[in-house]
Structure 1
Amino acid sequence: MSRPPGPAPAGRPAAATPRRRLLGQCALALAAATVLLGAAGLWQDGSVQRVEAAGVLRVGYAVEAPYADLGPKGDVTGESPESARRIAVAAGLPRIEWVQTEFDKLISGLLARRFDVVAAGLFITPERSRQVLFSDPSLCVRPGWLVRLDNPLRLQGSYEDMIGQHGFRIAVLQGSVEAERLAPRGELLSLPDAQSGRLAVLQGLAPALALSWPTVRQLALEPPGRLLALPAAASASSPSVVAQGSRPPCAPDADRVAFAFHPEDRALQARWNQAQAGFLGQPEHLQILNRFGLSADDLPASVQAPRSH
């Protein structure tokens, strides 16, 4: 039986055997791969394989134009679904199956695995980030008010301007960021969707609807001449801003919109982010934005795209 080699003479390092060199190289490669996989979120958690095996990607949405809406024939459309279609194809994911739900059920439905992705103009907030995984931001939007033309509360400025006012009842969507921000400041009329909020303002049930600026801008078009959309930082005496179709630039403190994933689906999130990065700000994406009343001005600062002037 052969004996292991003895210690090297004093002052000389022990020569590494080919086997030891190979093991060392493997260990270094494994360590590097661990760092890369962990940083990119590419651990094989089975989420991509699960979707591929099912042959369908279930996408949840709630009707709130311009983010998500239904076309004349009942087809799912809007900025988020149309973008999701292109991103899913670029990511090599299977066909989409749409799952409609109420806005305040989007996150609970995702956690219950009723769908794999949420495409509904969902804002990134600390509370939501503790529950779900978000994609990289896809839009940057400001808050807004939907009021009657006479603007009974003379709303102007930000939501914080409502502090100290009494006797108002602002319409909000159940589970929305606006509901969270306004809850400590006055009585709210919680409604399931944006169209219900529009009707509440028209019928005088609430003097205003607090929702994102792109949404209230869209709602003000139906019916024309009866409602006014105001960005939360704009003057109530400037209806020409809406009439001309212009919009304020995306401010650094504006809300970020993103797609959402189950907290255990990091591989699916990483696959989506990679495809999304190659799509946002590109000509096809800008066409989708323009189709739904948005523009390059509504993109996050991290997205390189031509800016409108």
Structure 2
Amino acid sequence: MRFRTILATFTTAAALFLGTSFGQADDLTDRAKAGKPIRIGFAHEIPWAYPGDKNEPLGFANAIALGVLKSMGYTNIEPVVTDWGGLIPGLQAGRFDIITGGMYITGKRCANVSFAEPMGKFGDAFIVKKGNPKHIETYQDIKKTGATMATVSGFVNVDAALKEGIAEDKIMQVPGLTEVLAAVKAGRADAGAGNDFAMKDLVQSAPNDIEVTDSAALPEWTFNWVAIAFKPEDKDFLKAYNEAQAKYLGTPEMLEAAGKFKYTKAQLPGDTKTDWICANR
């Protein structure tokens, strides 16, 4: 499989693209069948999607997407690495064709991109100082204790915190997970919020300083489904992708490929469909 990496750095001003319409672009199906590379966009989010030492796309979301694309006959892939906040604007601007970054399906995002059927279901968790001095297990604990929560700008944890009544000035939004970890370690934030996988990975980098809470302590509505995202006009490709993913998801080949990045059968999405998720998340 041929990989050519482009580093696309977007500032927070990229968020301005969110309200704009999609520019005219070649139909993805036609481009792919013509042998042109399929450009996949993702950020640096271990173990979801991230670039390797040779700039190859790693992480279970990339592994699943690449497996599906390979089953469709497409192996000419061009990774495009950006920050998390640049994923949807980058797709809209035509900088890449697909978002493979492990993005949660939400109603807000469904208004801007077309999601494939889910590839997995995941819970959230918090990182806290060792010993969990403020006894934080839920968003309500953060609210009641007046704690400050750090999370990545654009993560669903921002909306979840606001929904639970946490004051906006108690939500520290930072560019990436490295900054979430730094904020908690330095005491600028009492808790760092993110998906369960990412929080557990952060703990491994600082096991003597922080610990992770149990995602099961959070209410059911905080659990989310992850999917690959496409431009709305690429309907034919999306349909073909969904058909191929349905055959690939849960197979030994898929579980082996994604399992290298901590994905297990427990994360399989079940029967919930994207249309329902868009309306209820």
What's the TM-score bracket when you normalise by the shorter of the two chains?
A: 0.7 to 0.9
Deviation at 1:219, TM superposition (A): 1.3
Aligned-partner Cα distance in 2 for 1:73–1:46:
30
- Count of aligned residue pairs for this structure pair: 243
Aligned-partner Cα distance in 2 for 1:159–1:197:
16
Contact kept? 1:47, 1:266, Cα under 8 Å: no
- 1:18-61 residue CA offsets vs partner (Å, 9 max, x unmatched): xxxxxxxxxxxxxxxxxxxxxxxxxxx93300333361000000
Deviation at 1:203, TM superposition (A): 1.9
Structure 1-normalised TM-score?
0.73
- 1:191-222 residue CA offsets vs partner (Å, 9 max, x unmatched): 11112211221222211111011111111111
Q: Counterpart amino acid of 1:145?
A: F
Determine whether 1:189 maps to 2:158.
no
Contact kept? 2:134, 2:145, Cα under 8 Å: no
Aligned-partner Cα distance in 1 for 2:154–2:98:
18
Percent identical residues: 29
Aligned-partner Cα distance in 2 for 1:185–1:194:
20
Contact kept? 2:142, 2:148, Cα under 8 Å: no
Aligned-partner Cα distance in 1 for 2:77–2:265:
26
Structure 1 runs (4+) greater than 4 angstroms displaced: none
Deviation at 1:253, TM superposition (A): 6.4
Per the alignment, residue 180 of structure 1 pairs with 159
- Please, which of 267, 287, 291 is the counterpart of residue 260 of structure 2? 291
Deviation at 1:302, TM superposition (A): 2.8
Contact kept? 2:63, 2:257, Cα under 8 Å: yes
SS at match of 1:92: coil
Determine whether 1:162 maps to 2:134.
no
Unaligned runs of 5+ in 2: 1-25, 273-281
- Please, which of 216, 239, 257 is the counterpart of residue 226 of structure 2? 257
- Please, which of 100, 108, 116 is the counterpart of residue 135 of structure 1? 116
Contact kept? 1:146, 1:229, Cα under 8 Å: yes
Deviation at 1:162, TM superposition (A): 3.2
Q: Counterpart amino acid of 1:179?
A: V
Aligned-partner Cα distance in 2 for 1:228–1:253:
20
Contact kept? 2:125, 2:215, Cα under 8 Å: yes
Determine whether 1:271 maps to 2:271.
no
Determine whether 1:76 maps to 2:45.
no
Contact kept? 1:214, 1:294, Cα under 8 Å: no
Deviation at 1:300, TM superposition (A): 0.9
Determine whether 1:59 maps to 2:48.
no
CA root-mean-square deviation: 2.2
Deviation at 1:94, TM superposition (A): 4.5
SS at match of 2:34: helix
**Structure richer in helix, relative to its length:** 2
- Please, which of 77, 89, 92 is the counterpart of residue 70 of structure 2? 89
Aligned-partner Cα distance in 1 for 2:96–2:55:
19
SS at match of 1:64: coil
